[in-house]
Structure 1
Amino acid sequence: MRWKFNSSVHKRMQSRELVGAMDRDDESPVRLSNSTGQENGSPSWKNSLPHVCVATISSFLFGYHLSVVNEPLESISMDLGFAGNVLAEGLVVSMCLGGALVGCLFSGSIADGIGRCRAFQLAALPMIAGACISASTTSLEGMLLGRFLVGTGMGIGPPVASLYVTEVSPPSVRGTYGSFIQIATCLGLIASLFIGIPVKEVVGWWRVCFWVSAAPAALLALCMEFCAESPHWLYKRGRIGEAEVEFERLLGGPYVKSALAELSRSDKGDDAEGVKYSELLYGRHFRVVFIGTTLFALQQLSGINAVFYFSSTVFKSAGVPSDIANICVGLANLSGSIVAMLLMDKLGRKVLLLGSFIGMAAAMGLQAGAASFHHLGSGRLYLSVGGMLLFVLAFSLGAGPVPGLLLPEIFPNRIRAKAMALCMSVHWVVNFFVGLLFLQMLEQLGPQVLYSMFASFCLIAAIFVQRNVVETKGKSLQEIEIALLPPQ
């Protein structure tokens, strides 16, 4: 199912005088022209940077709330009276996943209905309320309610962040800015770890862990009042004058007319609210949506969240304390994300995805081998730990940050928000089942077979990327849309 650019597409691009060529992998930045026809080079990255940084606060909160209960869970269960109840403890951990699925299902309609900035503010409200309820509750039911509310905000935030960052970033740095989402998520994970360190020594400290999270959520809601709305959304709503103003804020005055002219050449999709999810599953949009949902499914079937959720078990077997283990995993994830940020607009999305999935397959193969080398004794455990850290590092180099950036790039403007919501919903569903079944499958199949299955999914993902994913580095969203979308 590889996309090829036939002559009709090429002629259509030439007739519309679009800059750049989509039928070659030259990675030079898109160059825009002003009304006099003079070339101005690429827009400055400085104008859009503050807006992108504010948007990534939602990703920081996403990472924070994913792991905020990991260390304090024992203290929470004792204080709220459900210590030893494995089902209740599991619900506290996973209730936010259920809320995230609900929020994600509605995120596309929300982003299209009220705009990207208002969607961020709406996502912040249940995260503030949920954090306060969790911090002040005296019962299990209150904790579950708080976690569910936080989850709904988590479900709305990440897809809207991917949309927003893609739509407000200049093409030349869109990959770099897209990597900020993954870096912010890593920082959130690490922040929750460090804030949770005193939980075993200080009585009631777990409540502080929840209270703290309300501050960045409130900051997100406040700062979004001063951020630019997506010009793509404004244009789609027919608010051309406002889109022009926002383009000027984000790109600079010389680029406004050419940006608007290019936007007008693409599929406008005047009735974005009228897009039904059924439209995404057949017809001219099926191919891009199929690629998006498959990428997110393979990302989760690689076993990455099983590693994140249950890594402490492997480290404890090697005699490494859980807090040090979590720091090692977090640093590996953050280091890879920073490298990906530096390479995203140089090597491109496809190269990073391929290298990442191949590296993950090799690392998981290393763990499968370690599980079968019983004669190595303690060396087998350290080999397994090394394989796990390499797996996380390889994931953060491509399979982690790229899908959330690539998919808004390849989705047409008309369906972008709802298509992202659908793909992220697949992400949450597969994530839930992998987390639910991992320990049971590990017990029944053994680590060698299970890790080999994960490695196989990584190789399948690499083949899928090679055959179906196109390079979008340095291309404007309108170029990508016109080239990839079949004519009506």
Structure 2
Amino acid sequence: MRWKFNSSVYKRMSSKELTTILNQDIENSAKVTSLQENGNPPWNLSLPHIFVATLISFLFGYHVSVVNEPLESISLDLGFAGNTLAEGLVVSTCLGGAFVGCLFSGSIADGIGRRRSFQLSALPMIIGAAISASTNRLEGMLLGRFLVGTGMGLGPPVASLYVAEISPSYVRGTYGSFIQIATCLGIIVALFVGIPVKDAAGWWRICFWVATAPATLLAICMEFCAESPQWLYKRGRIGEAEAEFERLLGASHVKAAMAELTRSDRGEDGDSIKYSELLYGRHFKVVFIGTTLFALQQLSGINAVFYFSSTVFKSAGVPSSLANICVGFSNLSGSIIAMLLMDKLGRRLLLLGSFIGMAVAMGVQAGAASLHHLSSGTIYLSVGGMLLFVLSFSLGAGPVPGLLLPEIFPNRIRAKAMALCMSVHWVINFFVGLLFLQLLEQLGAQLLYSIFATVCVVAAIFVRKNVVETKGKTLQEIEVALLQTQ
């Protein structure tokens, strides 16, 4: 049996009226439906949609690393070689664009839907990469990097929303891990594509042209993907939400999914939420948890390691390209392990273990820095500590926040709350990258690494006290449970 609604009627109804009508039929029949259904929804129906969505994460990783190897060649060809400020702008302008894109991601995702938001994020990434690839001036490169950054800021929060909203609950953790794996693959592909840059004149332009292909693929393929049923329901498009549930879960699971979605609705208009409402009232607790998790993730020093890992490896006589690849594969290995464990051990345990492992790894780094004489043992400690830090990060602190937050945010605030939390991520990311080398010079490696280790310990304590387990629960079950505790 399929739910049938007269669109001309339900479009004139408020959310409260819709909830009343739906509750009379859907929630009552859900009990019968749950008895008739055996097992979980098929996982393979939603998988193609997940793969398309994670293209934005691949692009994110690619553009973060695309200038690492080619930067010297770019500076020579565009005439700013030796200008460290200009070189820094080429790298960091992307982060500024990402912050701008992230600020608007919540409103855009709520306004035009998840699918159109993906397509909108792909557009500046295509145009920006093309401008960067074809420019002959520094200004053109900066414009291209800024445009790419806006797409990078808009896309990842929407990807986290979309994956959480269309995944069956029993594989949502596994599917959420695909975001981190795609990011790692993007980083590694960018590093490999950049290898010929020192031998082939103008190869850096190819590196940017390559980035237009997955962005174009994302924009085209998303036209054939499902829209988020949660977003459709929030917009009052009940019949379409039911149809998308059927595409994603199968016909036999539509009633239960609609019943869960209706049960979590509180008769509030999702469009009326303002950013100021996230900072007080009953939503403050979950938003505080989300912003704090992202802040602690960045203050742990992970991006300082990603940005400046080559200096440690160079002291061991390892070429920077090989160093970056080692870090990339360490990140990828941990992400794959996290994917296998996410729906078995749960989000909370992985987060705890990840931050504790990062604290130990930073302690090893600090210990190595305290040894003033440079020996093979010290070098091995530094390199080993760095790889252990990246591996520990990718096991939990990397993939879990982007998955956990859409799970704990109610449907009404989900998009804008994710935008707020990711904006905190970008701001701290920018300042860590900006100040790391200066702090390293003024404080010394031992003290700075000790500070990072302390942040990781604080993060583990915060997770233990504040983070709830969401493994195997539907988004609606999580929302109802959290509302009951407030």
Q: TM-score range by the shorter chain?
A: over 0.9
CA distance in 2, matches of 1:96, 1:367: 29
Partner of 2:230: 232
Partner of 1:464: 462
By how many angstroms is 1:269 displaced?
5.8
**In the alignment, is the contact (CA less than 8 A) between 1:99 and 1:148 conserved in 2?**
yes
Q: Where do 5+ consecutive residues of structure 1 fail to align? A: 1-14, 20-31
Partner of 2:355: 357
By how many angstroms is 1:272 displaced?
1.9
Partner of 2:392: 394
Partner of 1:9: none
Partner of 2:242: 244
Written as runs of structure 1 = structure 2, the 5 A alignment for 1:122-271 is 122-268=120-266, 270-271=268-269
Q: Secondary structure at the match of 1:43?
A: coil
**In the alignment, is the contact (CA less than 8 A) between 2:118 and 2:219 conserved in 1?**
yes
- Equivalent of 2:100, from 92, 99, 102? 102
Partner of 1:284: 282
CA distance in 2, matches of 1:226, 1:335: 31
1:203 alignment partner AA: A
Partner of 1:418: 416
Written as runs of structure 1 = structure 2, the 5 A alignment for 1:368-447 is 368-375=366-373, 377-447=375-445
CA distance in 2, matches of 1:233, 1:281: 23
CA distance in 1, matches of 2:229, 2:421: 23
2:246 alignment partner AA: E
Q: Where do 5+ consecutive residues of structure 2 fail to align? A: 1-22
Partner of 1:53: 51
Q: Secondary structure at the match of 1:259?
A: helix
CA distance in 2, matches of 1:213, 1:123: 13
**In the alignment, is the contact (CA less than 8 A) between 1:303 and 1:434 conserved in 2?**
yes
By how many angstroms is 1:263 displaced?
0.4
By how many angstroms is 1:271 displaced?
2.3
By how many angstroms is 1:375 displaced?
4.3
**In the alignment, is the contact (CA less than 8 A) between 1:177 and 1:341 conserved in 2?**
yes
CA distance in 1, matches of 2:338, 2:485: 34
Could you list the runs of 4 or more consecutive aligned residues of structure 1 that deviate by over 6 angstroms after TM superposition?
A: none
1:120 alignment partner AA: F
CA RMSD of aligned residues (A): 1.6
CA distance in 2, matches of 1:152, 1:320: 34
By how many angstroms is 1:39 displaced?
3.2
Partner of 1:111: 109
CA distance in 2, matches of 1:108, 1:231: 17
**In the alignment, is the contact (CA less than 8 A) between 2:335 and 2:395 conserved in 1?**
yes
CA distance in 1, matches of 2:236, 2:325: 48
CA distance in 2, matches of 1:383, 1:478: 46
CA distance in 2, matches of 1:119, 1:398: 27
By how many angstroms is 1:382 displaced?
1.8
- Equivalent of 1:449, from 447, 450, 461? 447
By how many angstroms is 1:296 displaced?
0.1
**In the alignment, is the contact (CA less than 8 A) between 1:103 and 1:151 conserved in 2?**
yes
**In the alignment, is the contact (CA less than 8 A) between 2:37 and 2:253 conserved in 1?**
no
By how many angstroms is 1:378 displaced?
3.0
2:444 alignment partner AA: G
CA distance in 1, matches of 2:173, 2:267: 25
Deviations 1:285-329 (A, max 9, x none): 000000000000000000000000000011001111111101100
Q: Secondary structure at the match of 1:44?
A: coil
Partner of 1:65: 63
**In the alignment, is the contact (CA less than 8 A) between 1:33 and 1:255 conserved in 2?**
no
Q: Secondary structure at the match of 2:35?
A: coil
CA distance in 1, matches of 2:129, 2:47: 28
1:102 alignment partner AA: V
CA distance in 1, matches of 2:481, 2:304: 38
1:131 alignment partner AA: A
When residues 263 and 36 of structure 1 are mapped into structure 2, their CA distance, relative to the original with a 3 A threshold, is closer
CA distance in 2, matches of 1:486, 1:433: 38
Partner of 2:478: 480
By how many angstroms is 1:487 displaced?
8.2
**In the alignment, is the contact (CA less than 8 A) between 1:361 and 1:459 conserved in 2?**
yes
Partner of 1:318: 316
CA distance in 2, matches of 1:87, 1:406: 37
CA distance in 2, matches of 1:274, 1:426: 23
1:184 alignment partner AA: A
By how many angstroms is 1:38 displaced?
1.6
Corresponding residue pairs, total = 461
By how many angstroms is 1:273 displaced?
2.2
Question: How high is the TM-score relative to the length of structure 2?
Answer: 0.93
| Worse overlay, 167-176 or 379-388 | 379-388
CA distance in 2, matches of 1:49, 1:486: 32
By how many angstroms is 1:377 displaced?
2.0
CA distance in 2, matches of 1:81, 1:273: 49
**In the alignment, is the contact (CA less than 8 A) between 2:355 and 2:460 conserved in 1?**
yes
Question: Identity over aligned residues, as a percent?
Answer: 80
Q: Secondary structure at the match of 1:342?
A: helix
CA distance in 1, matches of 2:268, 2:133: 44
By how many angstroms is 1:379 displaced?
1.9
Richer in helix (by share): 2
Q: Secondary structure at the match of 2:36?
A: coil
